[in-house]
Amino acid sequence: MSVRKNWSIAKLLLGGYTASVVSLLIYLPIFLLILFSFHAKAFFSFPFAGFSLRWYMAMFEEEFLFRSLGNSLIIASIVTAAAMVLGLPAAFTFASLRGRKKDVFIMFMAVPFVIPWLLIGVASLIFYITVGMELSFLTVVLSHLTYSIPVVVIIVGSRLLTYNIRLNEAAMDLGADQLQVFRKIMLPQIFPAVAAAALITFIWSFDNFIITYFTIGSDLTFPIWVWSSIRYPKKLPIVNAVSAIIVIVGSLIIYLLHRKGLLEEII
């Protein structure tokens, strides 16, 4: 009896602790960001000087903002599609290998993923300049792919490892050909992993700053626009308003995907 009571006190304490850490460390800055996007004044400080939508209005006068958002969406889409085309087949290779070959293959694939991405940015910049490629969108896409392909191979490949191949055998016993097996049995099972890989690739590319910073040249993506605007006190509230919209819309999209059961693979 006393043990049980102790546990429930522990549960309450730990629950309260979890709630406070998550709200203070993760949600507080985001809450403030959204709050101050409605601030009537241009600075982020207390006391709060009243609500206003002026920064949301001012947003529409930022020509570079919309251009950069468009660019980021295009880059993230191309990166996601190309990472799928290049990475999915390699995920099958990964799942089919055994022993030492598998270790070598995964090591080769995983290195870009396990080093600081700053180094991808630096090495890319040096490489493009040395071979005489002009820095632009193209170089950003090429560099984002160096970590995105491993992401796809690792996420989808791990899922394939646990795939029960007897399902294929059963389907073939029942007269299905290999294409049917792939389409009707395998694809539905690995689809959540593929979707998760695509989502992660897209978000990471859209949000990527560190590699983009070194490889973009004079073009703009959204994080680069934020970087160049964030230190101007005049621009900061506008950056904030856009960010509030992106945080809310982005969270909603991820939440909806979760409701559809597409995120099980990530957690």
Partner 1 sequence: MLPSRKGLLTWLGRRRWINWIPSTTYLLLLFYIPIAMLMYYSFWRYLKLFRFEPALTLENYLRFFTSPIYTRVLLNTIFIVGVAMALLLIVGFPIAYFIARYVRSSADRIILLMLIPVEINYLIRIFAWRTILGENGILNSFLVAVGVIEKPLPIFFYNWFAIVIVTMHEWLPYVVIPLYISLRSIPRSLYEAAHDLGASRLQTFLKITLPLCKPGILTAIFIVFIPALGEFAIPALVGGKSGYMIGNMIENQLLAAGNWPLATAASVILLATSLIIVGIMVKILGMEALYR
Please, what is the minimum distance in Å from the beta carbon of residue 61 to partner 1? 19
One-letter-per-residue 3-state SS of 84-153? HHHHHHHHHHHHHCCHHHHHHHHHHHHHHHHCCHHHHHHHHHHHHHHHCCCCCHHHHHHHHHHHHHHHHH
Task: Using the minimum distance from each CB to partner 1, give the nearer residue, 78 or 210.
Answer: 210
CA atoms 154, 158, 159, 161: torsion sign: positive
Instruction: Give the whole-angstrom CA distance, residue 212 versus residue 146.
Output: 12
Shortest Å distance, C-beta 8 to partner 1: 9
Q: How far is the CB of 54 from partner 1 (least distance, A)?
A: 18
Coil, strand or helix: which one is 39? strand
Q: How far is the CB of 130 from partner 1 (least distance, A)?
A: 6
Helix residue ranges, H only, the chain: 2-21, 28-36, 54-58, 63-96, 99-114, 117-131, 137-161, 166-173, 178-180, 187-207, 210-215, 222-229, 236-259
Identity of the residue, 54 or 207, whose beta carbon is nearer to partner 1 in the bound complex: 207
Which DSSP state fits 185?
A: I
- Contact present, 255 and 240 (Cβ < 8 Å): no
In the complex, what is the shortest distance from the CB of residue 236 to partner 1, in angstroms, rounded to a whole number? 8
In the bound state with partner 1, the residue whose beta carbon lies nearer, of 61 and 179, is 179
Residue 263 Cβ vs partner 1, minimum distance, rounded to whole Å: 7
